[in-house]
A and B are shown apart, each in its own frame.
Chain A
Amino acid sequence: MAASSAYEAVIGLEVHTQLLTRSKIFCGCANAFGAPPNHHVCPVCMGMPGVLPVFNRRVLELTIRVGLTAHSQIAERSVFARKNYFYPDLPKGYQISQYERPLCVGGYIEVPGADGAPRKIRLTRIHIEEDAGKNIHRPEASLVDFNRSGAPLLEIVSEPDLHSAEEAAAYLRELRAMLRYLEVSDGNMEEGSFRCDANVSVRPRGASELGAKTEIKNLNSFKFVEKAINHEIARQTAVLQAGGKVEQQTHLWDAEREETRPMRSKEYAHDYRYFPEPDLPELQAPPGLVEAIRAQTPEVPSARRARYARDFGLSAYAIEVLTQEREVGDYFEALIKAGVHHKAAANWTMSEVLRAANASDQPLIRAIPAAAQTATLLKLVEQNRISLNGAKTAFAAMCKSGQDAAATVSALGLAQVSDEAAIAEACDLVLSTETDKVAEYRAGHEKLFGFFVGRVMKTTQGKANPKVVNEVLKRKLAP
């Protein structure tokens, strides 16, 4: 249910994303998903008495990369702060985060709007913090796994610039694609490396003041984000329409029942008692670091989209598909570089490459042949030496075998016959056995032309060049 037109939704998102560093943020333990419980732990990330944090400089570099891409101001000096609360997965009883002075301030992310034109969603801040461990509840006991404790996190907070669940989802997709392009995060929602809380309020359309907001936690898929926000907009709109007042609350998304439910006030009524972390000095980027990162920062989705539209004149849909993941666009461009026409490269990437990549559980780069090999294959099509279908067959085989294009085409006998004499011979054979049909055709039943083509192709086991077959047949069937 969408908000009734008398009301307008106002949405801000807080995204937590894990950074792809080798080690954790404040100790040397591996920052890795999937190990047995409490495998990647040490006295520091277990919060033993007397331990001290030592900041992983790589986190600074990755955060600056994100901040620059999001047009944020990079603070010359930022400050870590302790966020105090008790929870079993939080070993020190406080989380080291940033509060009054975050590393990145302001900025925006360009999101494709409903009309296709880019829309700027402003950011409030991007700050650095450490992740907590994970509670595992069993009937007999609750257990804690501290492998994730101390994993580096970015919190990216948007301004309340979003007005619908669809827009929120588009922002999240864009942000996730950006983080993946920048190679700072894998954006994996299932593994919890990309998590989202949404602040949702509803106000009469045209009002300038914000209504009371609900914070929805636990949104761990794009689908849930959309559903939860729509549910919350509908709920708040109904409250307002009935003349009621929306209460400022924290809700939890219940994926089973597909509804949000308020958390007990005890679960969220925290006074976090932030204060500057005395164990860490102010965070200062060494001179030149920001500029060095700026010079190396890769292209982001919005820039790539603009370039594809400008240079290749592709459709909005094609651009969307080709820029969703960085490797897809990279592959598309590699084909062009290898001499494939951009139209053919786009079509092939969107169909065959994505089909093969989706069918594989390997990363794209390992699931499909090198672009040079694919380009060779596509040139054979261009030169009429194999058919398009033959190329698809060869490509699928190459994905499995890893063999090169030429070897695959010859091994599968896909080389196309363009020799007129050979094709004429096949045509003669077909026409001589189908004398009735030939007579019908000559009597004006021109639809039978396709039938003859089919028979010739069958006779040549699909290897005949269809263009040549057409020409020869036309000639031979002429009255």
Chain B
Amino acid sequence: MNNELFRLTISQAQAALRRREFSAVELTRACLERISAVEPKLNAFLTVAESEALIQAAAADRRLANGAPALCGIPIGIKDIFATRGMRTTCASRILENFVPPFDATVVARLREAGAVFPGKLNMDEFAMGSSTENSAFGPTRNPYDLARVPGGSSGGSAAAVAADECLAALGTDTGGSIRQPAALCGVVGIKPTYSRVSRYGVVAFASSLDQVGPLTKTVRDSAIMMRALAGVDPRDSTCSARPVPDYEAALNGEIKNLRIGVPKEFFVEGMQPVVDSAVRAALKRLEADGAAVGEISLPHSQYAVATYYLIATAEASANLARYDGVRYGLRAEADDLSELYGRTRAQGFGPEVKRRIMLGTFALSSGYYDAYYLKAQRVRTLIRRDFEAAFGACDVIVTPTSPTTAFRLGEKTQDPLQMYLSDIFTISVNLAGLPALSMPCGYDGNGLPIGLQIIGPAFGEGVILRVADALERSAPVPRRRPAAV
């Protein structure tokens, strides 16, 4: 028997499990052993649920015996932002350190239905606020390609765990780039679907109008498989779309002839590493060689995206995080009266970045400032959305770098929040416009660190961006490199 089952992709494992080449328990055990081997270096998991995972795997084996659902027996890591019934859900925050939800997030329930196995909960920036996973209250996750570097964030645990083969895929969330940027920095595929494509019920809210759930996987095909399992209407989420969910995998035909690819001139900026620039341009050449037409487009308001985002996201966060008050669940500080209870609980429970954003958002919504900040940001958001609408009149997908740099060193940007915010400069406008976008590896820098390429589609264009990504993956000159450090 192959003793490196953890190296498999979802589609490989699916086929082998159906052929009964190995059992779901064996696959799960392989992942759990891999987790024990690499976790001391990575810290990608906040909770490893060994016995629960093995019970799920055993159940999956029984289902496999008679016609199993799509993800039956596949070990999938869950970012610790998703409510998991009976399993601790911390959001990487002290304030929820011991919180055990009595319910499953809709996507978690869907994965359970589909037979997935959950090896555990993955590290992240506290409340998904950050771009390096250094804002976790339980220590940073390290990049499997270089342990001195960050995996990106906020879904850094998810990206690192998939890159290091600790699980076959992972769930992440993306509010301003939190799936795509860590996917880029860890050399995996990550997709942020159209806002409303996937239910947000049971996802601890950061910024409700921006948050979306998506998968991080080893291949584009695996992302297509995961998307089909995750997407679809949910009566518990009023913002969730009722549009039918297509068979994304079936559409991966490698056909991109005459496809129009737009490249925004504003996205090749100063401060971008030349190696990132050249890798993305090389990928565009390959797409052209396959028959796509590449042309320049303009997204003139994208320069305001970061400022707009940090008003809207923080405003919504300031309200979303008000419920952590020490009254019903989570951390409760010792206090003599009510205001002391609130003050101390939140002072002890939240980390500095979370506090910074709550204060920013509270300020942006305050009487006398609302029009100048929040309302203006909403207007700019509309302009950004229109930029994309206009652009998609002239092209089918937009290609950009995912992040201006490859993985940076731990501690490099922690003292300068603005520098940290700028690592999401290419991803943020996509959330503001509510569009789907995918990040995939498109090469490596001189240090062997992965470079990410972003493909943005029109609303509900998950199918087309997966098709383009799949075509690009097929034309890759070198196969995906295994992380050197684990």
**B91 interface residue per 8 A CB criterion:** yes
Interface residues of A in 40-96 (CB under 8 A from B): 43, 46-55, 82, 84, 86, 88, 91-94
- Residue from A50, A51, A53 with most neighbouring chain B CB atoms (10 Å): A50
- The reply to whether B322 and A46 contact each other, CB–CB distance below 8 Å, is no
- The reply to whether B101 and A49 contact each other, CB–CB distance below 8 Å, is yes
**B323 interface residue per 8 A CB criterion:** yes
- Interface size in chain B (residues, C-beta < 8 A): 44
Docked CA distance A47–B96 (Å): 14
Which stretch (B39-47, B113-121, B202-210, B470-478) binds chain A? B202-210
**A334 interface residue per 8 A CB criterion:** no
Contacts of B138 in A (CB 8 A): none
- Residue from B204, B322, B342, B365 with most neighbouring chain A CB atoms (10 Å): B322
Q: Looking at chain A, what size class is its interface with the partner chain?
A: 20 to 34
**A118 interface residue per 8 A CB criterion:** no
Which stretch (B139-147, B185-193, B236-244, B461-469) binds chain A? B236-244
Docked CA distance A462–B239 (Å): 75
Docked CA distance A274–B315 (Å): 10
**Closest chain A CB from B464 CB (angstroms):** 26
Contacts of B236 in A (CB 8 A): 52, 54
Interface residues of B in 223-269 (CB under 8 A from A): 235-239
Docked CA distance A53–B83 (Å): 16
- The reply to whether B238 and A55 contact each other, CB–CB distance below 8 Å, is yes
Docked CA distance A92–B81 (Å): 17
- The reply to whether B105 and A50 contact each other, CB–CB distance below 8 Å, is yes
Docked CA distance A53–B238 (Å): 7
- The reply to whether B96 and A49 contact each other, CB–CB distance below 8 Å, is yes
Q: Beyond A54-B236, A93-B322, is A48–B329 a contact (Cβ under 8 Å)?
A: yes
- The reply to whether B362 and A273 contact each other, CB–CB distance below 8 Å, is yes
Q: Beyond A88-B325, A93-B323, A278-B316, is A273–B103 a contact (Cβ under 8 Å)?
A: no
**Closest chain B CB from A388 CB (angstroms):** 61
**A451 interface residue per 8 A CB criterion:** no
- Residue from B321, B323, B329, B365 with most neighbouring chain A CB atoms (10 Å): B323
**A271 interface residue per 8 A CB criterion:** yes
- The reply to whether A281 and B99 contact each other, CB–CB distance below 8 Å, is no
**A280 interface residue per 8 A CB criterion:** yes
**A144 interface residue per 8 A CB criterion:** yes
Docked CA distance A408–B105 (Å): 64
* Known pairs A49-B96, A50-B203, A92-B322 / 4 extra A-B pairs, C-beta < 8 Å: A43-B102, A82-B319, A88-B325, A273-B318
Contacts A/B (CB < 8 Å), 17 sampled: A43-B102, A48-B83, A48-B103, A48-B328, A49-B101, A49-B204, A50-B105, A50-B204, A51-B202, A52-B200, A53-B238, A88-B338, A91-B327, A273-B319, A275-B315, A279-B205, A281-B238
A interface with B by C-beta (< 8 Å): 43, 46-55, 82, 84, 86, 88, 91-94, 144, 271, 273-275, 278-281
B interface with A by C-beta (< 8 Å): 81-83, 89, 91, 96, 99, 101-103, 105, 200-205, 207-209, 235-239, 315-316, 318-319, 321-323, 325, 327-329, 338, 342, 362, 365-367, 370, 374
